[in-house]
Amino acid sequence: MATNRMVPLPGSKRAPAMDARRVGAVDESDPIDITLVLRRRAEIPDDLIEGSATISRQELAERYGADPADIDLVRRAVQEHGLHLIEADPATRRVKVRGTLSQLRNLADPESLDLVESRDPATGRMVEHRHREGELRIPADWQNVVVAVLGMDDRPQARPHIHRLKPAAAHRSYTPVELGKIYRFPPNTDGSGQTLAILELGGGFTQADLDTYFSGLGISPTPSVTAVGVDGGSNSPEGDPNGPDGEVLLDIEVAGALAPRARQVVYFAPNTDQGFADALSAAVHATPTPTAVSISWGLNEERWTMQGRAVFDDALADAAALGVTVCVAAGDNGSSDGESDGLPHTDYPAASPRTLACGGTRLDADPATGKITSERVWNNGPRSASGGGVSKFYKQPPWQADVGVPNGSHPSPLRGVPDVAADADPGTGYKVLIDGQSTVIGGTSAVAPLWAALACRLSEALGRPLGLLQPLLYDGATAGTSPAGFRDITQGDIGAFKAGPGWDACTGLGVPDGTELLARLQA
């Protein structure tokens, strides 16, 4: 049990899960895997995160990874208490440890820990899981060395931002290839030489589905897709077109159709804050370093712990320093982000300034010619609309200073979401194949892989990684005007926010004109 040598871990305070109902106590002999995240040797400079320069993974580990002395400190404590050290990685600053709850209390003692049932935001069903409230306490000599402990609480952390087409909503649908034509993806590019990583927190895919889908689009050979398991996650297709496989196959098929020669690596992890953050870190630090990461999962930023967001943000900083562009769905529930309190909320990780937050539109265009009739904000009601708004936690990044982000009554400028957009309305959605069934799917889930594929093609044409794209994309943007490379979306709303000229909290800077954007980046 804990002793007076234990001190509170800043940022670890956890609020109750929604609709949580206690089931019983956690058995002290139950084995649990936790992730300890250690401090950096030095903070990554802003100009390395925000600028065009990149470093190698080895350089990142040596300059900004964990100090070997800190790892040794943790290793000794792990051994002293009879725990199993699974992994210690200086580059990602992660030490993974397995032990019984009784043993782990010597390293990370929760204020309260129970078994509960709560509502899974991904499925809407009640699920049983470990659930802690309040702070964690860690050994006093770990203070300022261990900055986060993840894994004690394994509640579901995120939901996929996917919307399936209702028959009555059918209007027009597109293959991703047709959308590449409509959004004028750069010609003579196909993602060759690039790696595109995708994060998934459930479901899976079969090679048969991929072969059938891509051959139907005339894409041969089938794009390379490899599955990687993180924290016990795996490629586990359920065979249900209406289940979690839909998110996985939507992401792979959109990315593969728009960047068919890019190598895809799909990271499967449990739907917990630990699994989500570890999957991002694994993807960012992989060899070869990916050009882009696509994330179609998220949840209201207020439902994350401070340490959870901090760990995720640190992995995003690693991504930027390594030259990785991280594209994230902005949410599918309008300005409320699915909350019922009547207030606006932004989705995380899209709320982080270190992600390219992707909003959604309703697109009416001719697939054959690429001619656009109209495009407006996607909003079919509060539970089927693009996410967006203003973060409650993140200060405004410098590239948004002049674009007119609304600040309300807050004393300092805050981060506006999204940055960019593309088609997301299921009524004008994406033609995909899910578990052998042809269907149409929408949601900002589709926009993240679309932009990740565009990043791969831009990087291929430029011959260099793009990293954090926003400073480049916002360059020259002012309130009421969008820069070259974007088609401004000025009609529609997401509830609390309306579209207008220039950046807005519905579709950001607008939808891409890939060819014009490449010309601008080449200038």
Displacement of CA 58 from its chain's centroid (Å):
24
Which structure tokens are listed for 236? 């586990």
How many C-beta neighbours within 10 Å does residue 81 have? 16
Strand 195-200 relative to strand 163-164: parallel, antiparallel, unpaired? unpaired
Identity of the amino acid at 164: R
Per-residue pLDDT of the chain (523 residues; tens, 9 = 90+): 344 589 999 999 999 998 899 999 999 999 999 999 999 999 999 999 999 999 999 999 999 999 999 999 999 999 999 999 999 999 999 999 999 999 999 999 999 999 999 999 999 999 999 999 999 999 999 999 999 999 999 999 999 999 987 765 667 899 999 999 999 999 999 999 999 999 999 999 999 999 999 999 999 999 999 999 999 999 999 999 999 999 999 999 999 999 999 999 999 999 999 999 999 999 999 999 999 999 999 999 999 999 999 999 999 999 999 999 999 999 999 999 999 999 999 999 999 999 999 999 999 999 999 999 999 999 999 899 999 999 999 999 999 999 999 987 678 899 999 999 999 999 999 999 999 999 999 999 999 999 999 999 999 999 999 999 999 999 999 999 999 999 999 999 999 999 999 999 999 999 999 999 999 999 8
> Can you give the residue ranges of every domain in the chain?
6-150, 159-522
Integer Cα distance of 456 and 443 in angstroms? 21
User: What would the DSSP string read from start to end of 292-360?
Assistant: EEEE-EEEEGGGS-HHHHHHHHHHHHHHHHHT-EEEEE--SBGGGTT-SSSS---EETTTSTTSEEEEE
Identity of the amino acid at 207: Q
C-beta separation of 129 from 118 below 8 A? yes
Q: What is the pLDDT of residue 46?
A: 96
C-beta separation of 125 from 119 below 8 A? yes
CATH of domain 159-522: 3.40.50.200
What phi and psi, each to the nearest 5 degrees, are found at residue 83?
Answer: -90, 165
Q: What angle do CA 521, 290, 41 make, to 5 degrees?
A: 100
Give how far Cα 330 sits from Cα of 121, 129, 158, 318, Å: 16, 27, 12, 21
Helix H, strand E, coil C: the string for 108-133 is CEEEEEEEEEEECCCCCCEEEEEEEE
- Cα dihedral 359, 365, 367, 369 sign: negative
Which structure tokens are listed for 146? 């261990």
What phi and psi, each to the nearest 5 degrees, are found at residue 379?
Answer: -160, 100
Which structure tokens are listed for 209? 């589905």
Query: Going by C-beta distance under 8 Å and a sequence separation of 6 or more, which residues neighbour residue 167?
Result: none
Q: What is the pLDDT of residue 411?
A: 82
| Helix H or strand E segment including 97 | strand 94-100
Integer Cα distance of 450 and 460 in angstroms? 15
C-beta separation of 161 from 297 below 8 A? yes
Integer Cα distance of 335 and 352 in angstroms? 16
Integer Cα distance of 179 and 440 in angstroms? 14
Evaluate if pTM is beyond 0.95. yes
Integer Cα distance of 357 and 372 in angstroms? 24
- Per the rule left: phi > 0, alpha: psi between -120 and 50, beta: everything else, 17 is beta
C-beta separation of 419 from 508 below 8 A? yes
- Cα dihedral 58, 62, 66, 72 sign: positive
Integer Cα distance of 215 and 224 in angstroms? 13
Helices 245-258, 444-462: crossing angle, 10 deg rounding: 30
Integer Cα distance of 506 and 379 in angstroms? 10
Q: What is the pLDDT of residue 410?
A: 78
Give catalytic residues, as residue numbers.
247, 251, 445
402-421 core/surface letters (b: 16 or more CB in 10 A; e: else): ebbbeeeeeeebbbbbbbbb
Q: What is the pLDDT of residue 1?
A: 38
C-beta separation of 265 from 256 below 8 A? no
Q: Which residues pair with 132 in a beta bridge?
A: 113
